[in-house]
Structures are given as structure tokens and as C-alpha cells.
Amino acid sequence: MTEGKVKLTRRNFLEATTLSVAGAVLSSSTRSTLDGVMAANDRINVGVIGAGAQGDSLIRQLATHPKAKITNMCDIFEPNLSKSIKLAASDPKPMTDYRRVLDSKDVDAVVIATPLHLHAEMSSAALEAGKHVYLEKTMAYSVDQCEQIVRAARAHGSLVVQVGYQRHYSPTVRRAVEMAKDGALGTVTHVDCTWHRNASWRRPVPDMRFDPRPWGYPDLEHLINWRMYKRYSQGLMAELASHMIEITNHLFGAMPVAVTGFGGIDFWKDGRETYDNVVVIYTYPGGQKVTFSSITTNAHYGERMHFMGTEGTIDLGWNEALFFREKEPAELVKTGPASVITATGETMPATKTNQKGAEIEAEGKGKTNPVYLALDSFLSCIRESKKPEVDVQVGRNAAISILLGNRSMEEGQVVRF
């Protein structure tokens, strides 16, 4: 492969700390309005824009949250709209134009779960309208659109913007990252990520009369299977890799410095435009390497991340994780059948890589849906005038990481950040 450079500054990774202090504190006018709403019903009124599969997941969790009420529901596809109104169980006002949601005075915050190409337009408009924003990942369709959203968030610093990486809030994921950061694995040098399925990724198109052309889709196929078409989607990288790369960015405290990879439409010859398989390699500032692969022809390895360090490995799934010792170094203090990892103060069974790993326990594991936890964080940040963990800068860095991964595959070269 030839090598090319992309003129994109890395210093923005930590730029969240330079955002205006006002970004973490609600303005007096916004605070006054919000206080009035919560004084009346102790809930934050939410408008949902986009009620497809991911929208449904968000709606189900919002509907059970004691501090939220879904007051407005927007989707251009009537079956989605009808279904979502029932799920909300709060008699929200139905709408097909998202701008009507933004014009509603009874909406404090919006949850946006639309196709990727609409994220920048809708989130920027929501901020201009004075609404807090929960924006599904990936944050934006292009690097320029990522920067547009960052600028909009800065211009409306009193508003909370959180990007929807629910895996970040999983107790199991958080515990695994914490252990890796605290030295339980020694020095983490590599992370291997897989998101493998054995299915086409295509969704069935209902046999019905519906004309989506007024909203920019030539037919119902493009609306239902928008992930397959480049004009709306960034494919497997944006829909799947983005989750894992946000975690590795968090683990290493940095964005990658370069990426290369291969992808193609090699099996599902069905008119799709986005790849049906991708394999990419990222390198980070400390020399760490992260591989990500997503295939649609074999599901054996499923959805896993492996944190590999000089002293151990974590085999991480979304709901469970195993710890394997690489060896028995001197710093392990023996305590009978278990050992204390002095860097973390944690006691783990003295297993080795050729034996069954020790199960990692995480507080709250399996008790609460990570989507609920992510939304709970968003609502808490609004109520408490806090900046989210997964804020606009974290979302930007993850998005640019995967967008440049796509660029490296399309151009057949190493892309430098």
C-alpha cells in the first residue's frame, strides 16, 4: 500500500477541556425554564426524532425512566410512528417533520436516532432551538459534519450534548477498562475487536404503499435499508466498529495516529454499496495496535474485544468478561488459591492462559440495560448541569477514527490523522 497523509490535527482529542466553562453550566434562562418544568412534574420532557430499530430501543428505556416523559414523537414512516407512540405509553404528539419537535415549547431535550446523513443537520438545528441533544452514534457522516456539530455545541455551551455510545456505560465494559487502566494486564499493547455475523444485514421491505421521495429516498428499499447505501451510511464501520473504537480511544486516552485496512462487497452481491466485510488496523500514539474486523459470513467469534497486555488478557463481551494471566510475575502476592493484583488491589483466581479464565465481576452487571444507563446519564447531566462522559468531543474523536478507517479502505492506503 502507498502511504498518504490527512491534514487533521490530533490536539483536538483533549480539546473538551478547553470548551467554555459555560458548557458545563446551564444559562440562567435555560436553567429557569428547566426548573419550571421539573418543579411542575419532576420530569424532563423529551422529543424523539427517529423511531426505527434503534429508536425503539431508546423509547423503551425512556418510557420506564421516572425522570423523563416522551412528549413528542417524530418519524416519516407511519408504521414506525404508530408503534413508537404505543411504546412510549405517554400519549406523545405524533409528527413527521422534526422541525415541529424543535418548535415545541414543551420539549426540553431531543433524542435523535435517524439515519447517519441527517445527524449534523438535526443536531445543529436542535441546539439552535435551545434543546439538549442525545445523538445516536456515529456522531456524523463526514469529518466536516463532525466539526460542524462541535462548533454548534460550543456556540450553545449551556446545552448538554451526549453521543449514544451505550456500551461505554455497560458495567462489564467499564470494569474491564478500569482493570486495564489500573495495570491488571501490565502494559496493554494490542486490542483485537471482532463483530462477526452470518446474515446479509438486509431488512425485509414491507409490501405497502408509501412514497418516501419527499424525504430524499427514491423508494422504500432505500428508506428501510439505508445502511446499505453510501449516500446515507458509512456502513459496518459506523454502525459497529464505532462502538469498539470509542472504547479503545477511552482505554488509551487518545485517538489513533494512523489506520489502514481492506474491505469489499465480496459475498452479498445484492446491490448494496457499503462493504459486507471490513478488516482494519489502527496504531495509537504509544505504538499500541488495534484491529477490527466485521464479517457477515460467519458468526463463530461474535462480538468480542480482547485487551492484551504483558501480564494478562481480558476477553470481553458486552455482558461478561474473563481475565487470563499471562504469567505469574513477582508482583503477584499469593493468597492461597487466589492472587492479589497489587496494581488494582483485586483478588483473582490464579489461572493461566491455558486454563479457564477468571470471571470479572462488575457492580450492577446484568441488572440494568446499558441503553437505560446512557439515557440516565444524559438526564442527570441536564438536571445537575454536568458535562457527559461521552460528550461532543468524545463523539467527534470516535467518529473521525472510523471515518478515516473507511477512507483508508476506499483509497487503498495508510491514512494518517
Can you tell me the mean pLDDT for 31-41? 42
Percentage of the chain modeled with pLDDT above 70: 83
* pLDDT level of residue 339 (50, 70, 90 thresholds): low
- Higher pLDDT pick, 164 / 340: 164
Alpha-carbon distance of 49 to 54, in angstroms, equals 11
Task: Please check whether residues 209 and 269 belong to one and the same domain.
Answer: yes
Residue 398 located in a structural domain: no
Task: Please check whether residues 57 and 76 belong to one and the same domain.
Answer: yes
Confidence (pLDDT) at 28: 32
* pLDDT level of residue 337 (50, 70, 90 thresholds): very low
Confidence (pLDDT) at 30: 38
What is the residue range of 326's domain? 169-368+405-416
Task: Please check whether residues 46 and 160 belong to one and the same domain.
Answer: yes
Residue 182 located in a structural domain: yes
* 188: its cell numbers: 496493554
Task: Please check whether residues 224 and 340 belong to one and the same domain.
Answer: yes
Task: Please check whether residues 329 and 380 belong to one and the same domain.
Answer: no
pLDDT tens, 357-391? 899 988 877 779 999 999 999 999 999 999 999 99
Confidence (pLDDT) at 9: 41
* pLDDT level of residue 183 (50, 70, 90 thresholds): very high
* pLDDT level of residue 347 (50, 70, 90 thresholds): low
Confidence (pLDDT) at 192: 98
Residue 180 maps to which CATH number? 3.30.360.10
Task: Please check whether residues 157 and 205 belong to one and the same domain.
Answer: no
Alpha-carbon distance of 350 to 394, in angstroms, equals 36
pLDDT of 38 strictly over 60: no
Residue 127 maps to which CATH number? 3.40.50.720
pLDDT tens, 50-85? 999 999 999 999 999 999 999 999 999 999 999 999
Task: Please check whether residues 221 and 360 belong to one and the same domain.
Answer: yes
Task: Please check whether residues 338 and 228 belong to one and the same domain.
Answer: yes
Task: Please check whether residues 353 and 335 belong to one and the same domain.
Answer: yes
Q: Of 297, 293, 296, which Cα lies nearest the Cα of 282?
A: 293
pLDDT of 143 strictly over 60: yes
Residue 2 located in a structural domain: no
Strands (E), 87-227: 93-95, 109-112, 132-136, 161-164, 188-195
Q: In 122-136, which positions are buried (b, 16+ CB within 10 angstroms) versus exposed (e)? A: bbbbbbebbbbbbbb
* Cβ contact 415:407 at 8 Å: yes
Residue 3 located in a structural domain: no
Alpha-carbon distance of 264 to 126, in angstroms, equals 36
pLDDT of 29 strictly over 60: no
* Cβ contact 109:135 at 8 Å: no
- Higher pLDDT pick, 26 / 330: 330
Total number of domains in the chain: 2
Percentage of the chain modeled with pLDDT above 90: 80
Residue 397 located in a structural domain: no
pLDDT tens, 108-135? 999 999 999 999 999 999 999 999 999 9
* pLDDT level of residue 6 (50, 70, 90 thresholds): very low
> By mean pLDDT, which of 3-7, 26-30, 238-242 is the weakest?
26-30
- Higher pLDDT pick, 23 / 12: 12
Confidence (pLDDT) at 173: 97
Confidence (pLDDT) at 364: 76
Mean model confidence pLDDT for the chain: 88
Task: Please check whether residues 182 and 317 belong to one and the same domain.
Answer: yes
Residue 312 located in a structural domain: yes
Can you tell me the mean pLDDT for 280-294? 98
* pLDDT level of residue 272 (50, 70, 90 thresholds): very high
pLDDT of 37 strictly over 60: no
Residue 355 located in a structural domain: yes
pLDDT of 276 strictly over 60: yes
Q: In 47-66, which positions are buried (b, 16+ CB within 10 angstroms) versus exposed (e)? A: bbbbbbebbbbbbbbbbebe
Task: Please check whether residues 288 and 354 belong to one and the same domain.
Answer: yes
Confidence (pLDDT) at 334: 45
**SS3 label, residue 287:** coil
* pLDDT level of residue 327 (50, 70, 90 thresholds): confident
Confidence (pLDDT) at 350: 52
Residue 4 located in a structural domain: no
Strand partners, 295: 277
* Cβ contact 84:55 at 8 Å: yes
Task: Please check whether residues 58 and 24 belong to one and the same domain.
Answer: yes
